[in-house]
């Protein structure tokens, strides 16, 4: 059994915990959880205990890493990813992350790559609410590739950002155009999949991004397109809720242990 810990104990973390309880991740033992909201961590730990699985509630990253986990699932935020990545990798702990936006910082990305190599660890990027990373990487390797990303959201999903105003409730509007690098700076918690797609293809500084706000729209549409001289691929994913992101972590954890990797 491989020791597993989780940072960030919201809805997505509960999907991972339930997958362990339901036997979908038999190679893993969830030994600890950590969250900014302690009650959420305690809720997951209690659920595990009810199913006969001991799970520690840790109030700090140090105490979580002291459990010597082989894998850490990050389901918190890009800020949390920046804080935990280097200590976890140096601890011999590989990371499955949903907060890929943190990797848009080239200096930080190079730091974690060199640290992972030095300590025999890895960073696994969960697909979240998009997909097609294999096609994106392949087309980019062929050369002369260009890529763009389209994201459609409802106006309520943009509350608290620099682009929100009440007219979005009645008017469809393109609220952002630019690169993935620029997008993650403006929307640090809302375009992680955009950065993931860019890292799998042409890079965050070259991926062109458009974000559209549509009145009454629920969920997210993520469309990534890549072209080269021989290939034109479009990956179009609509998700009504964020649950697909949690399940993409389950899929990533399965792939890590599987003799056949998709």
pLDDT, tens digit, for every residue of 143-166?
999 999 999 999 999 999 999 999
For residues 25-46, give the mean pLDDT: 97
Q: What is the pLDDT of residue 208?
A: 96
Place of tokens 């479009």: 234
What angle separates helix 133-141 from helix 192-199, to the nearest 10 degrees? Answer: 40
Superfamily of domain 133-241: Dihydrodipicolinate Reductase; domain 2 (3.30.360.10)
Note the pLDDT of residue 90.
98
CATH of 2-128+244-257, one of 3.40.50.720, 3.30.2420.10, 3.90.1150.10, 3.90.470.20: 3.40.50.720
pLDDT above 90: percentage of residues in the chain = 92
Q: Supply the DSSP symbol for 167.
A: G
* pLDDT for residue 189: 85
Burial of 173 from C-beta contacts in 10 A (0-12 / 13-18 / 19+): middle
Give the 3-state secondary structure percentages of the chain, helix then strand then coil, rounded to 5: 40, 25, 35
Phi, psi of 30 (to 5 degrees): -75, 105
Going by pLDDT thresholds of 50, 70 and 90, the confidence category of residue 229 is very high
What is the C-alpha to C-alpha distance for residues 250 and 126, in angstroms, rounded to an integer? 9
- Tens digits of per-residue pLDDT, 183-206? 988 998 888 899 999 999 999 999
- Interatomic CA distance for residues 62 and 66, integer angstroms: 6
In the chain, the percentage of residues whose pLDDT exceeds 70 is 100
Residue-level pLDDT at 122? 98
As a whole number, the mean pLDDT across the chain is 96
pLDDT in tens, 44-97: 999 999 999 999 999 999 999 999 999 999 999 999 999 999 999 999 999 999
In whole angstroms, give the CA distance from residue 120 to residue 210: 37
Q: Do 36 and 103 form a contact (C-beta atoms < 8 A)?
A: no
> Is it the case that residue 262 has pLDDT exceeding 90?
no
For residues 224 and 146, the answer to whether their CB atoms sit within 8 Å is no
33 and 61 in contact (C-beta within 8 Å)?
no
Confidence of residue 128 (pLDDT cuts 50, 70, 90): confident
- The domain limits of the chain are 2-128+244-257, 133-241
pTM: 0.93
pLDDT at 221: 96
């Amino acid at each position: 059994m491989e020791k597993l810990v989780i940072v960030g104990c919201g809805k997505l973390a509960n999907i991972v915990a339930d997958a362990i309880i339901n036997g979908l991740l038999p190679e893993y033992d969830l030994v600890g959880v950590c969250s900014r909201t302690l009650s959420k961590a305690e809720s997951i730990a209690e659920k595990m205990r009810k199913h006969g699985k001991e799970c520690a509630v840790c109030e700090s990253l140090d105490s979580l890493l002291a459990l010597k986990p082989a894998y850490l699932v990050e389901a918190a935020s890009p800020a949390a990813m920046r804080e935990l990545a280097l200590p976890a990798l140096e601890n011999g702990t590989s990371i499955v992350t949903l907060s890929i936006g943190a990797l848009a910082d080239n200096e930080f990305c190079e730091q974690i790559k060199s640290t992972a190599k030095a300590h025999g660890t890895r960073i696994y990027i969960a697909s979240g609410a998009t997909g097609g990373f294999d096609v994106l990487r392949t087309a980019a390797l062929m050369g002369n590739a260009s890529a763009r990303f389209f994201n459609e959201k409802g106006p309520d999903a943009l509350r608290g950002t620099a682009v929100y105003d009440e007219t979005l409730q009645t008017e469809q509007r393109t609220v952002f155009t630019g690169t993935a690098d620029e997008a993650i700076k403006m929307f640090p918690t809302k375009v992680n999949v955009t950065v993931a797609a860019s890292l799998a293809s042409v890079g965050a500084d070259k991926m062109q991004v458009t974000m559209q706000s549509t009145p009454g729209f629920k969920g997210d549409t993520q469309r990534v397109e890549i072209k080269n001289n021989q290939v034109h691929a479009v990956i179009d994913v609509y998700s009504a809720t964020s649950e697909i992101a949690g399940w993409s972590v389950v899929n990533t954890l399965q792939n890590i242990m599987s003799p056949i990797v998709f």
